[in-house]
Amino acid sequence: MTKLAEYRGKHELLINLVLRDLRGRYKRSVLGWSWSLINPLATVLIYWVIFSTFLKVQPPRGDPSGLKSFVMFLVCGLLPYRFLADSMSGSAESLIVNANLVKKVYFPRELLVVSAVGALLCTFLIELAVLCVVLLFMGNMVLTWIPMLLVVIALETCMVLGISLVLAPLNVYLRDVKHFVLIALQLLFYSAPIVYPLRLVPKNANILGIDIALRDVYQLNPLVPLIDCFRAVLYDLRFPDAADLGYVAVWAIGLLVFGHWVFGRLDRRLAEEV
Amino acid sequence: MSTAISIVDVSKKYRLYHERNQALKVAILRGRRARYEEFWALRDVSFDIEQGSTFGLIGENGSGKSTLLKCMANILRADKGSIVVAGKLSALLELGAGFHPELSGRENVFLNGAILGLSKKQITERFDEIIEFAGLERFVDSPVKNYSSGMYLRLGFSVAINVDPDVLLIDEILAVGDAEFQQRCAQKFVDLKERGKTIIIVSHALDTIRNFCDEAVLLHHGRVQTIGPAATVVDEYLEGVHIDRQVDVHGPRSGSGEIRVERVSLLDASGKSTTRVRTGDAMTVRLEFVATEPVERPVFGLGIARIDGAEVTGPNTRDAEIVPDKIEGRGHVDYRIDRCLLLPGTYDVSVAIFDYTISQPFDARNRALRFDVEHGTPFQRHGIITLDGSWDIVEDAPSS
């Protein structure tokens, strides 16, 4: 409980740290903030060319929205993934790049991780806002689904925060962590229905002579139902599957609690090891 | 008087890694992170600091004083024992920690203020004062990466000092900026002191500790060696230093070398070489030289400084208008002091031989000789030298 008291009145510091990240991010680049849109656009363009034009991946038709567009299908999954990926790789470094603060000033160090995630959350929200505008132009009436969208964003943020609170201090003690994260992120990207729809994942498969229910295993990855929730409210315009939402919520809360616990354990000698 | 900081049985252990390798390979191969030795930086340290007092922490490098300060600031966690701080604490360990080089001075003041625990409202109220104190009115909106290092530190100091804590921890940062800024800093500390704030200083500048602090603690290998009035503790530290430390007889040397210092020695009243004198004694600093070629109008000079670097005096033969036209071969120069007015402590003598313009050294040797001064007559406890004055206390006859 003393821990909670420590956080009280720290929201201003948090806001300041987030602003520092945001203001500092594109300083000295000519295009400045346009980069935050150029980056995802370029990624979308590349995937669109490869997966839609070369590999001929067919997007599902939105039900009940009736929308059928590979680009929109892709972006609805890509943006949540990028938020997760950027947070994981960025927050792993968040304590190390702020080593001088950790060593010289005392304040709850979680704030450095939280602010790194917070700054990326801001970018994510802007990207989603742009996406919503485009979807409106394409005839998808997303406005009524925005409250639901916010719930899904909140769940993803808890999840991301939980993971980051584990990765950041761990990376201080073991600098290899950030390299593992980069590999893990590639695996996550292809093991979630981002560039392809879920129906392309076979129900059953025979791997090394063992029959397994591949799609069930595949769906254990919380990123799968999470992306499904985003697509439900943005692409399909329907209420997310309750089981998906529940599964994501359990992971989100579990990861957050676990992250907080791990950070508390690893906090003790941060200033010496960083 | 109540207690501002109470330190009870605090011990702090560091890990000394033999190979600083935070690789997983090591962890897997050896089944643990890396080989390390444990090292106690602090051992069973206990003392209380009174509210409103100014307290000094002194000790050799590695004695644990900065570790203790960081434990007080909660940056490091003690492995054993407890530290209880009453009131709001602010630590000036590094000025401008957390400044973002690309952001403007204004943005950094808000950021740094928030890191040090100020609310936006408080920073807004104090903003003008902070900028004015740092003397950066014209540069408020330039990015701090364009600041000179002095400007950067001044801004950092100015934000930190305006945090207005109940307990202020300071680590070796009193020497910031030019003389005028230092003057203002000193004034600021005096203000804080007068307002009853507790100040804790870690410093090698023993003068600062002696003059500024009420009490001090001397740490030695992580343990409390002495605690008491600042002047007493500083004296004990200086006493201890000359026993422990070896004099570097061949201290740093520079110069063109046509004429060289061969030896520097201290002679007592009877002409015997010594390294120990008493206040009030006669003494002579003898500089033996050898000139390998004729040298015109050389100037001999020496500097006496206390070992913490405080300069006492720097006489030379040009100021004294004793300049030989030409010198060749061997010889010596004596600087005779009829009554040594230095107060007890350890002092270093640096010597140099210059050309007449005092721009090119022929030979300069820093800290060529070290000697100790012990209590003598006149007896005086505070300061570096005595002016050997005399007191008169006169009571006016009561007017009736």
Q: Say which DSSP state B280 is in.
A: T
Task: Name the token pair of B39.
Answer: 């090292």
Among the listed ranges A9-18, A41-50, B21-30, B132-141, which one has the minimum average pLDDT value? B21-30
Q: How confident is the model over B221-254, as pLDDT tens digits? A: 889 998 999 888 887 887 766 544 444 445 566 7
Task: Name the token pair of A224.
Answer: 């799968």
Instruction: Report the Cα–Cα distance between both ends of chain A, in Å, rounded.
Output: 27
Q: Compare all CA atoms of chain B with the CA of A112 and give the residue at the minimum distance.
A: B115
DSSP-derived secondary structure for A179-220: HHHHHHHHHHHHTSSSSS-GGGS-S-EEETTEEE-HHHHHTT
Which phi-psi region, left, alpha or beta, contains residue B333 (left: φ > 0; alpha: ψ -120 to 50)?
A: beta
Residue A222's pLDDT band, with cuts at 50, 70 and 90, is very high
Compute the nearest-CA separation of A197 from chain B (Å). 37
| The overall pTM is greater than 0.80 | no
Query: CA distances (Å), B68 to each of B46, B63, B82, B170, B193, in order?
Result: 11, 10, 12, 12, 22
pLDDT of residue B247: 42
**Long-range contacts, B78-81 (Cβ 8 Å, 24+):** B78/B10, B78/B11, B78/B12, B78/B42, B79/B11, B79/B12, B79/B13, B80/B9, B80/B10, B80/B11, B81/B7, B81/B8, B81/B9, B81/B10, B81/B11, B81/B44, B81/B45, B81/B46
pLDDT of residue A8: 65
Q: Would the CB atoms of A105 and B74 count as touching at under 8 Å?
A: no
Instruction: Indicate if the pLDDT at residue B149 is higher than 90.
Output: no
Instruction: Indicate the residue of B76, B94, B102 with minimum beta-carbon distance to A27.
Output: B102
What ipTM goes with this model? 0.77
Instruction: Indicate if the pLDDT at residue A265 is higher than 70.
Output: yes
Chain A residues 107-146 with CB within 8 Å of chain B:
107
Element (H, E) at B188: helix B179-194
Q: Would the CB atoms of B100 and A20 count as touching at under 8 Å?
A: yes
In a mutational test of the A interface, the residue from B75, B92, B100, B112 whose CB has the highest number of chain A CBs within 10 Å is B75
Q: How confident is the model over A140-166, as pLDDT tens digits? A: 888 999 999 999 999 999 999 999 999
- Is residue B166 within 8 A of residue B199, CB to CB? The reply is no
Q: How confident is the model over B100-120, as pLDDT tens digits? A: 888 889 988 998 888 888 888
Among the listed ranges A123-137, B240-254, B336-350, B381-395, which one has the minimum average pLDDT value? B240-254
pLDDT of residue B173: 62
Angle at A256 between CA A253 and CA A258, to 5 degrees: 105
Instruction: Indicate if the pLDDT at residue B174 is higher than 80.
Output: no
Residue A5's pLDDT band, with cuts at 50, 70 and 90, is low
- Range with the largest mean pLDDT of B164-168, B182-186, B215-219, B239-243: B215-219
Given the DSSP bridges, would you call strands B283-296 and B259-267 parallel, antiparallel or unpaired?
antiparallel
Instruction: Indicate if the pLDDT at residue B373 is higher than 60.
Output: yes
Chain A residues 85-104 with CB within 8 Å of chain B:
98, 100-104
Q: What is d(CA B325, CA B159) in angstroms, rounded to the nearest whole number?
A: 57
The crossing angle, in degrees rounded to 10, of helices B120-134 and B105-115 is: 120
Query: CA distances (Å), B375 to each of A60, A102, B303, in order?
Result: 95, 47, 22
Instruction: Indicate the residue of A15, A107, A175 with minimum beta-carbon distance to B115.
Output: A107
Q: What is the CA radius of gyration of chain A?
A: 20
Dihedral sign, Cα of residue A181, residue A183, residue A186, residue A192: negative
Q: Which residues pair with B47 in a beta bridge?
A: B7
Task: Name the token pair of A267.
Answer: 């906090």
Residue A182's pLDDT band, with cuts at 50, 70 and 90, is very high
Q: What is d(CA B267, CA B167) in angstroms, rounded to the nearest whole number?
A: 49
Query: CA distances (Å), B212 to each of A158, B203, B230, B234, in order?
Result: 51, 11, 9, 12
Q: Does B76 touch chain A (CB under 8 A)?
A: yes
Instruction: Indicate the residue of A15, A176, A271 with minimum beta-carbon distance to B75.
Output: A271
- Is residue B131 within 8 A of residue B158, CB to CB? The reply is yes
